[in-house]
Amino acid sequence: MTENTDKLDNQNTADVNSAQTNANNALPNEQDNAAIDAFFASSAPKSPANFKAGYVAIVGRPNVGKSTLMNHLLGQKLSITSRKPQTTRHRIHGILSNDEMQAVFVDTPGIHRNEVRAINERMNKAAVSALVDVDLVLFVVDSDQWRDDDLLTLQKLGDTDLTVVLVINKADTLKDKGAILPLIETFNDSFDFADIVPVSALKSQNLDRLQEVIASHLPIADPIYDTEQITDRSERFLASEIVREKIMRSAGDEVPYDLTVQIDEFKDEPAHKDPKTGRPRKACTFIDATIYVERDGQKAIVIGEKGQRIKQVGIDARQDMEQLFGKKVMLTLWVKVKRGWSDDERALTSLGY
Ligand code: GDP
Ligand code: MG
């Protein structure tokens, strides 16, 4: 396997970071604190007697809006989304807690037809295994585009005795709202759904109703996770997903969906006095990440003209991380060419799949 490494000239990004450090040397202000609290807040259950809790799998064809749905149900961004299908490769737990229930969401990459490449096989396994031991399945379809692939997933669900709620997403795209009625009839004929809920994940329409429906199908149980918690994923993992999303969004169709971001270093430095100047320094997390691509051409695209793209990716990713983690972040990005890694089982394992 050929490997070709380049450390990026991230000087400009670093400059932006240190400029911010100096500007924000004081403790977080009230506004910051409120924003951080809002990020991590969730209401604690008051009446545990009838409390409902369980696992909810979100399944459906790529691009129907599963990640968007989970993010908007949670009111914040955990799973990455993009217009490019198959941006989600991992199971992601998002946790929604309110006074009545706790729903632990499993976001799946969808079930693919072509199990050709090693990476796709693993994705399929993740999608199917996501359905084991869940209490409820949200089967998501695009209200405008019903395809054979949807049926494929539905067939798999038919072999189980899972409770399935049909979520008809992207209702906002329908010019004629009445068009949804024959659609509902068609779905009802092909599967015995526990409920059918049209929503717009993107515009957060009818998500309250969906939450009620979810709660009604969950078993009475104690919360599975701490109700303050929003995900069981590590900050490390979230950091890699954020970098990946920024590249996908920026480079669009020019890079394959199977590029991978590995976090090489994730180091929390507590607030301290600068030994040289004696000035107080805020707590900061140092993150080094390597972006793996398959070809030199892809590397050039990720880096961009005069490093402009990677610089912007670094800035955008750092901002998201700071908002999500509620602390200062210094991010260094590297790009490496690792030819043919997505077909190489061993390489996949070493990258954590
Ligand atoms: P996934 O592959 O099923 O996880 O789909 P994503 O959540 O990544 O969404 C795919 C695309 O559909 C993105 O461009 C979303 O912005 C878009 N999308 C998701 N939900 C809606 C919706 O309710 N309305 C509209 N108009 N677009 C949506
Ligand atoms: Mg997704």
The 10s digit of each residue's pLDDT in 33-42 is: 555 455 444 4
The answer to the question of residue 128 being in a domain is yes
For residue 57, the enclosing domain spans 43-217
Same structural domain for residues 28 and 47?
A: no
The answer to the question of residue 224 being in a domain is no
HSE (side-chain half, CA atoms, 13 Å) at 332: 13
Q: Give the Cα separation of 152 and 207 in Å (integer).
A: 26
Q: Is 169 a pocket residue for ligand 1 (Cβ < 6 Å)? A: yes
Residue 134 has pLDDT above 80, yes or no: yes
- Output the domain CATH number for residue 256: 3.30.300.20
The answer to the question of residue 227 being in a domain is no
Q: Is 97 a pocket residue for ligand 1 (Cβ < 6 Å)? A: no
Residue 269 has pLDDT above 90, yes or no: no
Q: Give the Cα separation of 58 and 148 in Å (integer).
A: 18
Q: Is 62 a pocket residue for ligand 1 (Cβ < 6 Å)? A: yes
Same structural domain for residues 121 and 177?
A: yes
* Domain boundary pick from 153, 182, 217: 217
| Segment 95-114 mean pLDDT | 70
pLDDT of the residue at 57: 87
**Structural domain tally of the chain?**
2
Give residue 277 CA to ligand 1 midpoint distance, Å: 49
The answer to the question of residue 242 being in a domain is yes
Give residue 235 CA to ligand 2 midpoint distance, Å: 19
pLDDT band at 70 (very low <50, low <70, confident <90, very high): confident
| Segment 130-149 mean pLDDT | 79
Q: Give the Cα separation of 70 and 177 in Å (integer).
A: 24
* Domain boundary pick from 217, 244, 261: 217
The answer to whether the CB of 341 falls within 8 A of the CB of 292 is yes
Give residue 192 CA to ligand 2 midpoint distance, Å: 25
Ligand 1 pocket: which of 68, 82, 150, 174 to mutate (most atoms within 8 A of CB): 68
The answer to the question of residue 226 being in a domain is no
Q: Is 328 a pocket residue for ligand 1 (Cβ < 6 Å)? A: no
Q: Is 65 a pocket residue for ligand 1 (Cβ < 6 Å)? A: yes
| Segment 16-20 mean pLDDT | 32
Same structural domain for residues 195 and 258?
A: no
pLDDT of the residue at 1: 38
pLDDT of the residue at 172: 93
Q: What are phi and psi of 138, to 5 degrees?
A: -95, 115
Q: What does pTM read for this prediction? A: 0.59
Q: Give the Cα separation of 164 and 31 in Å (integer).
A: 42
Same structural domain for residues 252 and 169?
A: no
Same structural domain for residues 155 and 247?
A: no
Same structural domain for residues 197 and 285?
A: no
pLDDT of the residue at 10: 37
Q: Which helix (H) or strand (E) holds 12?
A: helix 11-23
Q: Which helix (H) or strand (E) holds 281?
A: strand 280-281
pLDDT of the residue at 25: 36
pLDDT of the residue at 117: 46
Same structural domain for residues 108 and 140?
A: yes
Residue 20 has pLDDT above 90, yes or no: no
- The CA-atom distances, in angstroms, between 313 and each of 73, 289, 309 are 26, 12, 6
Q: Give the Cα separation of 229 and 135 in Å (integer).
A: 20
Residue 23 has pLDDT above 70, yes or no: no
Q: Is 201 a pocket residue for ligand 1 (Cβ < 6 Å)? A: yes
Q: Which ligand is nearest to the CA of 174?
A: 1
Nearest 5°: the CA angle 185, 191, 195 is 70
pLDDT of the residue at 326: 75
The answer to the question of residue 223 being in a domain is no
Same structural domain for residues 242 and 343?
A: yes
Which of the pair, 225 or 285, is modelled with greater confidence? 285
Q: Is 83 a pocket residue for ligand 1 (Cβ < 6 Å)? A: yes
Closest ligand 1 atom number to CA of residue 171: 23
Same structural domain for residues 52 and 180?
A: yes
| Segment 25-48 mean pLDDT | 47
Same structural domain for residues 99 and 127?
A: yes
Beta-carbon neighbours within 5 Å of ion ligand 2: 66-67, 88
The answer to the question of residue 81 being in a domain is yes
pLDDT of the residue at 154: 76
Amino acid code (one letter) for 309? R
Give residue 93 CA to ligand 2 midpoint distance, Å: 12
Residue 169 has pLDDT above 50, yes or no: yes
